[in-house]
Every structure is written in C-alpha cells, then in structure tokens.
Amino acid sequence: MKTKVFATTSDKQLIQCYIKGNNDSLGILYSRYYSKVYQKCLSFIKNADDAFDLTQDILMKAFSKVSTFKGNSKFSTWLYAITHNYCVTTSSKVKNYHFEEVSVGQNVMDESTDMDKLEQRKEYEEKLMKLKDVLAGIPEFDRNILNLKYNHNYSVKDLQVAYKLSASAVKMRLMRARQKVEHGFYQTAI
C-alpha cells in the first residue's frame, strides 16, 4: 500500500519524506529517474557498461546531496543538471587520453622508445592489478567509501551526509579501510 501512495507522490514530497527519515522515498525517485539518467549517460559515453557505472555514480552523488535541493526548479531539472555536468566532466577526462591504433605488423617499439619508461609502466600496471585484487577482497562498504573519497573527491562532510555518520566515524572508517588495503597489498607482495 505504501508503494502505491509513493507512486503518486510528487518528487518534492518524496524528498521531504526522505529528509524526515523515510528512506523508501529515495527508491521511488531512483525508479522514476534511473532510465532517464542512464540514457543521458549513454548518449555521452556510448558504452553500456560505462553508462551503467556513470548512472550509479550520478544517482549516488545526487541522492547524497538531495537535502541541498531547494525546490526552485523541478527535481528532474536539478538531476538533469547534475547528470549533464558529470557526463561532460567524465567524457572530457576520457578525451584527454591519447589512443593510437596499431595496425598489424606495425613495429610499436622504435629507437625513441625508452626501455626504462616501459619497465616503469609495467611495474605500475602490475601494482594496479594487485590493488584491484586487494580492493575486491575487502568489504563492500570499505570499497565504496574509498571510491567516493578518492575517485569522486567526496569530502568528509559529503560522506557524513551519504552514510549518515559523524565526521569522526567517517574518518575512522576511511582509516580502517585504507589499513585493510595496505595490509592486503603488502600481504600479496610477500
């Protein structure tokens, strides 16, 4: 019965319900706007998997900041602005990388290639693979909070809102998550 009531509730009312402590209202907003955000991301990124990841990031970011929604515009307009800005920023980061096609039989290594740089790159990629393995082995909460902090530049205050924790609790969770990663990383090196 609750879901039917929420289905006919306005976005603004759902946000007010969430601010008052009803978490179900975010689920309704998520259902209403997921496909629209996903389609917008897909139009920018042109890759279904990346668009899915981007959609999750955007919705998490928007919902963690939903209490800042002032209601001067429609919620859909506010969410569209967040989506558009996030997609523009993300797609411009991707465009800053330079990729070259290598045809079959083309010699990638020429005289100007610095073997030390290649070795450094290889070591970096190996460490990155180890780090991905370690991150996959730690609890999901730890992985998520580290991702928000270091990949999405969430501040401690943003994390407080997102997880409904005090500043000291957020700092402690971050410290413990980093320690788990460090411990796991050095365990794989032994």
Query: Hey, where are the domains in the chain?
Result: 2-95, 115-189
In 10 A of CB 159, how many CB atoms?
Answer: 21
- CB under 8 Å to 75, separation ≥6 — which residues? 11, 12, 15, 29, 69
pLDDT at 100 over 50: no
Length of the chain: 190
In percent, the amount of the chain with pLDDT more than 90 equals 7
Collapsing DSSP to helix, strand or coil, 141 comes out as helix
**Residue 184 is encoded by which pair of tokens?**
């796991």
Annotation: CATH topology of 115-189? Arc Repressor Mutant, subunit A (1.10.10)
Q: What is the pLDDT of residues 125-167, one digit of tens each?
A: 777 778 788 888 888 888 888 888 887 888 888 888 888 889 9
- The band of 103, judged by pLDDT with boundaries at 50, 70 and 90, is very low
Give residue 58's pLDDT: 92
Answer yes or no: are the C-beta atoms of 113 and 168 closer than 8 Å: no
pTM across the whole model: 0.48
Tell me the C-alpha distance between 93 and 91, whole Å: 5
Q: State the CATH class of domain 2-95.
A: mainly alpha
